[in-house]
Amino acid sequence: MGDLLQGKRILVTGVITDSSIAFDVARLAQEEGAEVVLTGFGRLSLVNRIAARLPKPAPVIELDVTDQEQLDSLAERVREYVPALDGVVHSVAFAPKEALGGNFLNAGWSDVATAVQVSAYSLKSLAMAALPLMERGGSIVGMTFDARYSWPSYDWMGVAKAALESTSRYLARDLGPHGVRCNLVAAGPIKTKAATSIPGYGGFEEVWAQRASIGWDPTDPEPAARGVVGLLSDWFPRTTGEVLHVDGGVHATGC
């Protein structure tokens, strides 16, 4: 047990399975002294079962990041468990299959709009919903996949991640006066349920096997989770609008 987040209250979205980065963030945050509240979408009974596997059981609040009523009531519902928040983790992304797997030129706007709203605009939505709970400032951390490049099969999710990275920079600008930092962690490929549903996911693992200078284990979400926990802590008090790469060094290597 450490004390990197001692006394902090952290809201973590996107916990679906115990193999997800979000689950490891919640676990490490608890081990570093934080009080954690989770959000779930859809099958809350499943999220509750996963939450019970944490070092300490964490409450689960329903949150659909595209539902304005749920966003508007988020602060009130979080206050049932903690009086305020010091950190928020955005680990939410989705694109319809029609917008992935080589369909870049064929995807229609409705599918693209869904990808952008859920994967990028939701960072702003979540930040504004949580802001009333962050009167003493804090840290918002999201998850991205290096959007400087086009990736095979990633298609409109890649575009959505580029929008997410831009959204984070604008939030860093506009939330700074509130004492709130906003940063992203760009992780390498992790074999989560969401990732493996992407057509051609195996190609990402091949790239990382060849180019990760310090090595990369796609079954281990802890390195990325450590990056998130670090950014949630007070060790980066003047870091905002940043993308921290936790990818084994692939972002820094050529072909």
- In tens, the pLDDT along 189-212 reads 998 767 777 777 778 888 899 999
Q: What is the mean pLDDT of residues 118-138?
A: 98
- 154 among known catalytic residues: yes
Is 216 a residue whose pLDDT tops 90?
yes
Q: Which of 161, 191, 193, 201 is catalytic?
A: 161
Q: What is the pLDDT of residue 206?
A: 87
Q: Are 90 and 71 in contact (CB under 8 A)?
A: no
Q: In what order do the strands lie in the sheet with 87-90?
A: 60-62, 35-40, 9-12, 87-90, 138-144, 180-187, 243-246
Q: What is the mean pLDDT of residues 160-184?
A: 98
Q: Which of 8, 81, 149, 154 is catalytic?
A: 154
Torsion angle (degrees, nearest 10) of CA 89, 169, 84, 126: -60
- 191 among known catalytic residues: no
Whole-structure pTM value = 0.96
Token readout for 222 is: 């802890």
Among the residue ranges 156-160, 162-166, 202-206, 233-237, the one predicted with the least confidence is 202-206
**Number of neighbouring beta carbons within 10 Å of residue 241:** 17
Q: What is the mean pLDDT of residues 209-222?
A: 94
Q: Are 118 and 92 in contact (CB under 8 A)?
A: yes
Token readout for 218 is: 């796609």
pLDDT tens profile 14-57: 998 999 999 999 999 999 999 999 999 988 889 999 999 999 99
Is 153 a residue whose pLDDT tops 80?
yes
Token readout for 61 is: 């609040």
Is 13 a residue whose pLDDT tops 80?
yes
Token readout for 191 is: 């074999």
**What is the C-alpha to C-alpha distance for residues 127 and 85, in angstroms, rounded to an integer?**
11
Split at pLDDT 50, 70, 90, the class of 131 is: very high
Q: What percent of the chain has pLDDT over 70?
A: 98
What residue ranges in the chain does DSSP mark as E strands?
9-12, 35-40, 60-62, 87-90, 138-144, 180-187, 243-246
Alpha helices in 32-184, H assignment, sequence order: 44-51, 68-72, 74-78, 109-116, 122-130, 155-175
Tokens 């390195």 — which residue?
Answer: 223
